[in-house]
Amino acid sequence: MNPDKRNEFDRQLAGKFDDFRPKVPNDLWDKIASKLDEQEQGTAVPIKQRLRFPSWWISIAAGVLMVCGIVYWYNRPVMVTYLQNPVVHAEEDMPVVEEPAEPAPAVEPLDIDRLKQLFAKRNRQAKNENEAEMQVAEMQQVDRSTGTTDNQLLIAEEAVPTTQALAKNDEPPVSPPAGRPIREEAIAATVPDIQPPVVLEEEEETLLAATEESKQPFGVSNILNYVVGAVDQRDEKLVTFSNDSEGSLKLDFNFSLAKNKKKRIK
C-alpha cells in the first residue's frame, strides 16, 4: 500500500499508537513459561511412538475380549445343589484311583494240524465204541437163536477182550511231535467266559426306596390322613395325603368314589 495515499485520519491514529506501551501483568511470562514446559514434557514422547498401536487395533482387541467374556459368563460352571442322595454325590466327588491295567493274555494262533489230530482221536474213540456196541448186539442176536446159559458164558468171555481192546484203544495212537506240545487248556483260556449280566441298579433302587420308606418321618400327611380316615369310614378314601420324595405334600383323589357318590345322590 502506498503510504502517500493513506488516509490522514489513519496516519494520525497509527502515529498515536506508535509509542503506546501498556503495562504487562507480571505473571504473564510465568504462564507462558509453564505452557512451554508442558509442551516440552508432552513432546518428549515422539508422535510415531504414540501411534504405534492405532485405535482400530485397540477397538478390535476390546471387542474380542468382550465376546470372550460374554461366552465365558454364559458357560461358567454353576454350582448344583442336590436335594437327594448326598452319598451318591460324595462318591462322584471321590478321586478315581486308576488300577494298573493287566496285560491281555496273548492269544495263540490256531494250530490247524493239532486240531485235526484232536478231532481224529475223538472220531476214532467214537468209532471204537460203536463197533463194540455192534459186536455186543450181534452176539445177543446169536444167543437168542441158539441157547441162553452156555452162550452167556461165551459172551462174557468174549466181551472181556473187547473191553481190553477198548482199553488198548484208549491209549494215544499217535504220539504228538516233540516241538509242538498239546495245550488244550491254553486254547480254552483264549475263549472269553460268557457271564450273565449283573443288574445292580434295580437292586440299588429298591434298596433306596426301602430306606426312604423306612426313614419317612411322621409328618403333616399322616395327620391329614388320620383326619380323613375319621371323616370317611370307607376302606378306600376319597382323598389321601402323602409326602413326596422331596418332602412336599402330595394329594391323591380317588375320583371313582366321587362319581359313585354323585350317582347315589341322583
Residue numbers of the site for other proteins (CB under 8 A)? 1, 3, 6-10, 12-14, 16-17, 20-25, 28-29, 31-33, 35-36, 39-40
Q: How far apart are CA 238 and CA 132, in angstroms?
A: 81
With respect to other proteins, which residue has the nearer C-beta, 30 or 92? 30
CB of 50 to other proteins, least distance (A): 18
Instruction: Check if the beta carbon of residue 228 is closer than 8 Å to that of residue 145.
Output: no
Residue 228 C-beta-side C-alpha neighbours within 13 Å: 19
Please compute Rg for the chain using Cα positions: 56
CB of 46 to other proteins, least distance (A): 16
With respect to other proteins, which residue has the nearer C-beta, 22 or 192? 22
Residues 6+ apart with CB under 8 A from 109: none
**Per-residue b/e over 219-230, b at no fewer than 16 CB within 10 Å?**
eebeebeeeeee
CB of 48 to other proteins, least distance (A): 19
CB of 44 to other proteins, least distance (A): 13
With respect to other proteins, which residue has the nearer C-beta, 25 or 192? 25
Q: How far apart are CA 22 and CA 19, in angstroms?
A: 10
With respect to other proteins, which residue has the nearer C-beta, 4 or 235? 4
With respect to other proteins, which residue has the nearer C-beta, 36 or 223? 36
User: ∠ CA 39-41-42 to the nearest 5 degrees?
Assistant: 60
CB of 40 to other proteins, least distance (A): 8
